[in-house]
Structure 1
Amino acid sequence: MDDDTAHSSGHELARKALEDARAKARAAGKAVGQGRASAPAQRKGRRRWSGARPDGRDPQSLGSVAGAMAKTRGWQSKLGEGQVFAAWDRIVGEDIAAHAQPTDLRDRVLSVSAESTAWATQLRLVQRDILAKIAASVGRDVVVSLRITGPRAPSWRKGTRTVPGRGPRDTYG
């Protein structure tokens, strides 16, 4: 360390380091000391302030920013899937939602479990209307078909040893 740098203040050392860095950049052929101007400011005749119309610097709503982010990152299908489960009551109506719930969504096939076989049959009859409501609410490509099931039959399996075959379950449907 030489005598000049030993007695220099921090401000002088920083200035010297900046000058050295600029000299290296100039030697490498880079433009130094120009500052960073934005694209509109570089064009002559353009104003830098916002006018009466909206532009990219105006405040955006959280919903529009989140929607744009989901679109650019490819999350829209997953968000649509989540909306089907979250808004099931609103999409199909309270009457259907009270008797049937979505259970799974795989490969754009929504599995719906009804509380009775009568409700499962009724849902199969209005399946096209339910698909139209889902498409209107969350988009066309989220759910393309429904798999509607009724209640599960009781398990007759008791203990570790069982007899193969259907047994007494053949009367449940």
Structure 2
Amino acid sequence: MSASEGAPKPPEPSGVDLARVALRAAKEAARARGEATQQRKQARRGGGLRSGARADGRDPMALGSAINRLITERGWETPAAVGGVMGRWPQIVGEDLARKCVPERYDEDERVLHVRCDSTAWATNLRLLAPQLVARLNEDLGHGTVQLLKVHGPSGSVRRYGPLRAHGSTGPGDTYG
């Protein structure tokens, strides 16, 4: 007698068991097909909602995605990055300096950041710190984004009338530089 003859045979699956096995296999195959179809649809529509039967440019998208797309399409990457630096100005230059000196604008063509200080003493101090500040800004924004830091003193109001007003003068020149 061989080993295979002496061991009891497992019972043959009955019709109900075969049906359960076939149903389980069919469900798993359908689930896999459904997941694959869902992933293709998701990829086609870019992960968002759709406006109709076919994907097109009118489909809604997340606000962040829309803003990033607009910035890229218009070529505003550098001005947007510099705008972010202006928002983080106190972290970049320090609280003391940020209270006295404020970035006003960025000229992208000349790569110049204009900074206004509230006194000539702070303007002089910032002019001395300009090379280190430009280096720190370029670390944050990318090499060569800011080539020059143009420091402006306080802007005084223009005196148009008064008894001590000389024709053609712009105000006291010794404190506004």
Structure-1-length-normalised TM-score: 0.53
Corresponding residue for 1:97?
98
| Change in 2 beyond 3 A, CA 1:111/1:167 | closer
How big is the shift at 1:98? 1.4
Matching residue's letter, 2:96 = D
Change (3 A) 1:139 1:67: farther
Q: Select between 65-74 and 131-140 the one with higher mean Cα deviation.
A: 65-74
Match of 2:149 among 146, 150, 163: 146
Stretches of 4+ aligned residues off by more than 6 angstroms: 62-69
The DSSP-based 3-state class of the residue aligned with 2:172 is helix
User: 2:125 matched to 1:109?
Assistant: no
How many angstroms apart in 2 are the aligned matches of 1:93 and 1:63?
A: 29
SS at match of 1:126: helix
**Over aligned residue pairs, what C-alpha RMSD do you find?**
3.8
Q: Which residue of structure 2 lines up, in the alignment, with residue 38 of structure 1?
A: none
Task: Summarize the alignment of residues 129-168 of structure 1 with structure 2, pairs less than 5 Å apart.
Answer: 129-158=132-161, 164-166=167-169
User: Any stretches of 5+ residues in structure 2 without a counterpart?
Assistant: 1-35, 37-42, 48-62
Cα 1:117–1:171 shift into 2, 3 Å: closer
Which residue in the other structure is 1:77 paired with? Answer: 78
Q: Which has the larger radius of gyration?
A: 2
CA–CA distance in 2 between the matches of 1:170 and 1:147? 19
TM-score (norm 2): 0.52
State the Cα distance separating 1:154 from its structure 2 match: 4.1
Partner Cα separation in structure 2 for residue 92 and residue 63 of structure 1: 28
% same residue: 36
